[in-house]
Structure 1
Amino acid sequence: MRQQPYRRLWIARTVSQWGDAFNTVALALLVYSLTGTGLGVSGVVIAEIIPVLLLASFAGPLVDRFPRVAVMIAADLVRAALAFSLPFMAGSVFAVYAVAFGLSAGAVFFNPASQSVLPSLVRERDLVAANSGLWTAAVVSQIVLAPLAGVVVAAFGYDWAFWINGASYLASAAVLLRLNVPAGIAPAGRSSWYREAREGLSVLAGHRLLRALAGAQFLGALSAGATGALLVVLAREHLQLGEADYGLLLGAIGVGAAIGPLILSRFTDNPRQAGFVLGPFVLRGIVDAALATAAGLVPAMAALVAYGLGTSTGAVTFNSLLQAETPERLRGRIFATFDMLWQSGRLISLLAGGLIADILGIRAVFYLGAVLLFAAAWAGWHGLRKERANRQ
């Protein structure tokens, strides 16, 4: 935080996430009030996933071609305009879906640009600490502001939540205007979007470690999509818990996710340590199996604190390794591809999880989730070991 460029990026992303917390709560409540069904609320999630699948292959080359800070500012301004427009179309569920789609589309460009900029602002040895700071701010914002967003909606209506979100994007853009990034490697020459996208995929497929990390990302998404969405079903059908107890389970995940990066940065500053990158996959797999086996509120809460810790530390170390390993000129394309892998795996998992739960029971979903996470850890470990052998 003593480094001004990083501090500006941290402020911009954190302020933007404050608005996101208000928007997420208000959108879910608004759509439910318009449709009266859980399926309607699920439509918002689908509207947020589809842009990643459609636009990631275009966003990656664009992020690598143009100044990344400019891409982030443009994405913020577009999202601000969409957020401010929501109060004027809140009576139409299809218009709300369209705005949710647009907000997610802006993130498809913003997120790879942000991830690609960070290694240019800090040293490789600072990546773990830098990502920890960003992640902790995001989690704490969600924990603190999500309940406040509900109060704002109840007291003042949906409009204020959407206006707060729009203002957060404008504030983020204003901070980013003063972010100076050291010049990166200039592209060898402009080529077509198709060739640039194909080059990114070719590098990913040919790089043993990046390929292994991509496999781990997809397997992790196949697990997390269903287990995250169906935790409420596990709580009611297997753990026999009530609605208030389910809130405690979510709080336990938040506590673990908030403290994880703080603990992590005390143990390592090396983004290439396999245990810290892949261990969280194993930890989350153990938790999924424990949740499907154990019973009772206290054991479940303890397990979910560990799950939150594994999720946060895993995200920090995984991103740090990816940033350290990816060539600068390809970062936008690589991060956009990883986002697409995550969201596609999450969508498949969401669709399959409910079917598996209906046929085999909710515990089968969590046991299968554990197996997928163990497989993700093995895939990543295999790639890291092979890469080390090649370098030696």
Structure 2
Amino acid sequence: MWSVLRNPTYAKLFCAQVIALLGTGLLTVALGLLAFDIATDAAGSVLGTALTIKMIAYVGVAPLIAALVDRLPKKAVLVSADLVRLAIALTLPLVTQPWQVYALVFVLQSASATFTPAFQSLIPAVLPEARQYTRALSLSRLAYDLESLLSPMIAAALLSFVAYNFLFVGTAAGFAISTSLVLASRLPHIPNEQAEHTFWQRVPLGVQVFARTDTLRFLMLANVVAAVGTSLVLVNSVVYARGVYHLGDTALAITLACFGVGSLLAAPNIPWILERFTVVHTMLVGAAIVTAALLSAVIVTAAAPRGAGWGWLLATWTLLGLGTSLVSTPSSRLLADASTAKNRNLVYTAQFALSHACFLFAYPIAGWIGSVSLLAAAAVLAGLALLATVAATIFALRRNLRTASDETLTQPEAGATVLRKARP
């Protein structure tokens, strides 16, 4: 996996991605503490709205911006997006009203939604060989998992001797270093090609594939479980740490780090697990763990006024990270096995839109209901996870769901035949 870093251009781009991710992770912690300073116990509502705006920017604005910048040089697009994000990071410490947070988050996430697809489109050109490209994808996934653990730990260390506003400076520094690394890279020329379909044309076409493919319909239920579990963590961690347990700023970073620990416990072991169990069974176990963890969150929230410890919350967040990773990481196998070279772009676009749509309702539930009652928010999210998990389990059992990869593992000699039978 690490051999791809011998390519100097990819090495610089990967380092730019990692450093920008670390900066974004610091921003997550700082934004939560800023929301608590502005709205105290209603911080969850502010964060829920801000994260909902983030999803709107990703789904609604990103395709429009991508179309506008498609014919521009990729280096100019990446650098411009990083500079916008740097400026917003330095502006956030100055805000005093929730609407200012919403406006800046919208611009910031629109810039991120511009950077990410432009960055991803470069990798196949930098690493055209299929095996190297696959290794680059694995390395990128590892970077995301490590960021969820390392960023809160770095934030916790910094918060022990500086105010949380300095985390925004760290975020800006991350974007500045990312910009310099992109500028130092010799990027390949990618000829402009007219896409066969626009984003908004690909979504309904991809949804049609989801609707007629059993494994992808199962994936939609799994997306719901992953969204509700993640939403409680990202939206309400600051309310638990600062408002319920009355702990310091460092406690928020540690709480978020526990979610990252759970994710990191699962992610490296996914290949080993999938060699012994089917993709569907692995995802069902993850969904069950998320549901159990959300039910634990209900109990912890109800017992907190009677002295339930912060440690129980940390254990619950670790379980949520573990379960979410078991649900989300294998999902790419379902997408790959249920698509063909001709419709793969449609399927992945539909998954992007549909999975983000789950967050569009999960974030407001966690934030807006949580601002009235944390217990009610945890209970509603746990109920949704339970319903989706039960529905996914019944659907999988009735349809006897197996992917082409599962069949290939159990019947190697019939692999080519099974792959040809995979539904388009």
TM-score (norm 2): 0.68
The structure 2 residue matched to 1:9, chosen from 6, 13, 24, is 13
Alpha-carbon distance, 1:277 to partner:
4.9
- More deviation, 28-37/45-54: 45-54
1:94 to 2:99 alignment: yes
Alignment partner, residue 364 of structure 1:
383
The C-alpha deviation readout for 1:332-373, integer Å capped at 9, x for no partner, is x87565433222211223445759974995553442242355
The C-alpha deviation readout for 1:207-253, integer Å capped at 9, x for no partner, is 569977765554333223333344799xxxxxxx9799999886554
Alpha-carbon distance, 1:50 to partner:
2.5
Asked which structure has the greater RCO (Cα within 8 Å, sep 6+), the reply is: 1
* Contact kept? 1:51, 1:105, Cα under 8 Å: yes
The C-alpha deviation readout for 1:107-156, integer Å capped at 9, x for no partner, is 22222333444444264445554333223333333323324325545643
1:45 to 2:85 alignment: no
- 1:156 aligns to what SS in structure 2? coil
Alignment partner, residue 347 of structure 1:
360
Shift in CA distance, 306/276, structure 1 to aligned 2, threshold 3 Å: farther
* Contact kept? 2:262, 2:322, Cα under 8 Å: yes
Amino acid at match of 1:105: S
Alignment of 1:318-333 (within 5 A): 318-319=331-332
Shift in CA distance, 131/28, structure 1 to aligned 2, threshold 3 Å: same
* Contact kept? 2:222, 2:389, Cα under 8 Å: no
* Contact kept? 2:232, 2:378, Cα under 8 Å: no
The C-alpha deviation readout for 1:67-97, integer Å capped at 9, x for no partner, is 555533332222112222334x323432222
Alpha-carbon distance, 1:303 to partner:
8.3
Number of corresponding residues: 378
- More deviation, 273-282/243-252: 243-252
Shift in CA distance, 285/251, structure 1 to aligned 2, threshold 3 Å: same
Amino acid at match of 1:103: L
1:22 to 2:22 alignment: no
Alpha-carbon distance, 1:312 to partner:
3.4
Shift in CA distance, 163/251, structure 1 to aligned 2, threshold 3 Å: closer
RMSD: 4.9
Alignment partner, residue 237 of structure 1:
none
Aligned residues with identical type, % of pairs: 21
Amino acid at match of 1:367: L
* Contact kept? 1:59, 1:336, Cα under 8 Å: no
1:173 to 2:179 alignment: yes
- More deviation, 352-361/17-26: 352-361
Q: Distance in 2 between matches of 1:134 and 1:376?
A: 32
Amino acid at match of 1:286: A
* Contact kept? 1:223, 1:370, Cα under 8 Å: yes
Shift in CA distance, 390/264, structure 1 to aligned 2, threshold 3 Å: closer
Shift in CA distance, 196/326, structure 1 to aligned 2, threshold 3 Å: farther
Alignment partner, residue 143 of structure 1:
149
Alpha-carbon distance, 1:200 to partner:
2.6
* Contact kept? 1:200, 1:330, Cα under 8 Å: no
Q: Distance in 1 between matches of 2:134 and 2:280?
A: 14
- 1:228 aligns to what SS in structure 2? helix
Alpha-carbon distance, 1:20 to partner:
0.9
Amino acid at match of 1:226: V
Where structure 1 has 5 or more consecutive residues not aligned to the other structure, the ranges are 234-240
Amino acid at match of 2:46: G
Alignment of 1:256-271 (within 5 A): 256-264=262-270
Q: Distance in 2 between matches of 1:103 and 1:26?
A: 14
Alignment of 1:73-222 (within 5 A): 73-87=79-93, 89-120=94-125, 121=127, 123-126=129-132, 129-150=135-156, 152=158, 155-179=161-185, 187=193, 189=194, 196-201=198-203, 203-205=205-207, 215=217, 218-222=220-224
Alignment partner, residue 305 of structure 2:
none
Q: Distance in 1 between matches of 2:258 and 2:67?
A: 39
Shift in CA distance, 119/299, structure 1 to aligned 2, threshold 3 Å: farther
Amino acid at match of 1:78: V
Q: Distance in 1 between matches of 2:112 and 2:219?
A: 19
Alignment partner, residue 389 of structure 1:
421
The C-alpha deviation readout for 1:253-310, integer Å capped at 9, x for no partner, is 4223224333345678xxxx99665444212122134446788999998887665345
The structure 1 residue matched to 2:289, chosen from 287, 305, 320, is 287
Q: Distance in 1 between matches of 2:269 and 2:133?
A: 15
1:312 to 2:325 alignment: yes
Q: Distance in 1 between matches of 2:184 and 2:200?
A: 33
Alignment partner, residue 236 of structure 1:
none
Alignment partner, residue 78 of structure 2:
72
